[in-house]
């Protein structure tokens, strides 16, 4: 559906040139939800704007639904953009227009007849859950409702691709989750390819199938979300994953544990998928002659299954503790011994 081949975007500035996107190659499959994550200045906004022709690549190919967005213009570019919807961080609604009129706006530009236009708007209002708010103005809406209008408007022309530019950054956590649930529902119902950029790993964890991590204009890591959560390779990816998987002040907690427990072992357990649902602690207590203390942990649900990190302290004979660790690993749970104090 979307293929970027050796794409570079260079901006000219008074101080010289700035390479916002640096030789990026990427393939996004039809019908998937693909996330691009990076801190401010990583180049992700420039990258997503090249997907709908708002920015032109300095070099390389940007193929979206069979069209090279880097080399088309005029009527062909306008037609291509009708197949690529986009929602924004700050909604970009027309404040003098009602919900219905905002959603209808791209249909008016496309020359869709009024009767057909009204029917399509009604369908979209129902799809995004705005029944009863059709005649309200943006100033009368909550942040979540404004973004629902933005989503409906982006879907007006039946696009093949939906681009989300920090679409939940201006929303509170509860509203963010409701918007993300809506995007998943739209993806399933319409088979729409969704590309979203964000600096929040929670967004990636909740709805994305795959993720690319950007740093200094480059893709430094890419893969299935569950794989990236389980074994992040790059330092920046590890920092993002820690946002949602590790309790705060983990290092300080481990250091404290080593002082608190002069005997035994502190173990970090990593659960993935079905392993996160198993009564592992109960089985350890029943099967082995060790004391077990659950220190802290967190289980997160990704779009592809559960992922969890748990810190425990066990104490017993060396032989019995070795048996416990072997047993844990047999259950498809990763076990890393943080210390082994004699």
pLDDT digits over 275-313, tens only?
666 788 899 999 999 999 888 777 777 776 777 788 888
Q: What is the mean pLDDT of the chain?
A: 88
pTM, entire model:
0.82
Q: Using one digit for the tens of pLDDT, what is the confidence trace for 164-187? A: 999 888 888 899 999 999 999 999
At 310 the pLDDT is 84
Specify the higher pLDDT residue, 120 or 15: 120
Q: Using one digit for the tens of pLDDT, what is the confidence trace for 190-209? A: 999 999 999 998 899 889 99
Would the pLDDT of 252 be above 60?
no
**Strand duo 33-37 + 59-64: pairing:** unpaired
For the chain, domains (ranges, CATH) are 2-244 (3.40.50.300), 246-341 (3.30.70.260)
Per-residue buried b or exposed e for 5-34, using 16+ beta carbons within 10 Å of the residue's own CB: bebebbeeeeeeeebbbbebebebeeebbb
At 74 the pLDDT is 86
The angle formed by the CA atoms of residues 192, 221 and 245, to the nearest 5 degrees, is: 85
């740093």: which residue's tokens?
Answer: 215
């Amino acid at each position: 559906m979307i293929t970027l081949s050796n794409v570079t975007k260079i901006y000219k500035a008074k101080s010289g040139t700035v390479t916002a996107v640096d030789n990026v190659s990427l393939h996004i499959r039809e019908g998937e939800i693909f996330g691009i994550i990076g801190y401010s200045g990583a180049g992700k906004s420039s990258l997503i704007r090249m997907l709908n022709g708002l920015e032109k690549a300095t070099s390389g190919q940007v193929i979206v639904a069979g069209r090279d967005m880097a080399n088309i213009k005029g009527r062909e570019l306008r037609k291509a953009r009708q197949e690529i919807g986009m929602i924004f961080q700050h909604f970009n609604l027309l404040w003098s227009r009602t919900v219905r009129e905002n959603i209808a706006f791209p249909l008016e530009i496309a020359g869709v007849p009024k009767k057909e236009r009204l029917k399509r708007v009604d369908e979209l209002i129902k799809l995004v859950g705005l029944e009863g708010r059709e005649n309200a103005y943006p100033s009368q809406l909550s942040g979540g409702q404004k973004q629902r209008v933005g989503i409906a408007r982006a879907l007006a022309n039946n696009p093949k691709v939906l681009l989300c530019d920090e679409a939940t950054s201006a929303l509170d956590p509860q509203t963010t989750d409701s918007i993300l649930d809506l995007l998943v529902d739209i993806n399933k119902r319409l088979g729409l390819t969704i590309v979203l950029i964000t600096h929040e790993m929670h967004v990636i964890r909740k709805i994305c199938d795959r993720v690319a991590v950007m740093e200094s204009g480059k893709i430094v890591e890419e893969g299935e979300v569950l794989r990236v959560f389980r074994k992040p390779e790059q330092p920046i990816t590890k920092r993002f994953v820690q946002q949602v998987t590790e309790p705060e002040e983990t290092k300080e907690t481990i250091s404290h544990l080593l002082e608190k427990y002069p005997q035994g072992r502190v173990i970090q357990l990593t659960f993935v998928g079905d392993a996160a649902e198993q009564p592992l602690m109960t089985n350890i207590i029943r099967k082995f002659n060790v004391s077990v203390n659950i220190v802290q942990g967190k289980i997160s649900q990704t779009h592809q299954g559960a992922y969890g990190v748990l810190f425990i302290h066990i104490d017993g004979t060396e032989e019995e503790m070795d048996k416990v660790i072997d047993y844990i690993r047999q259950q498809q749970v990763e076990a890393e011994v943080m210390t082994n104090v004699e």
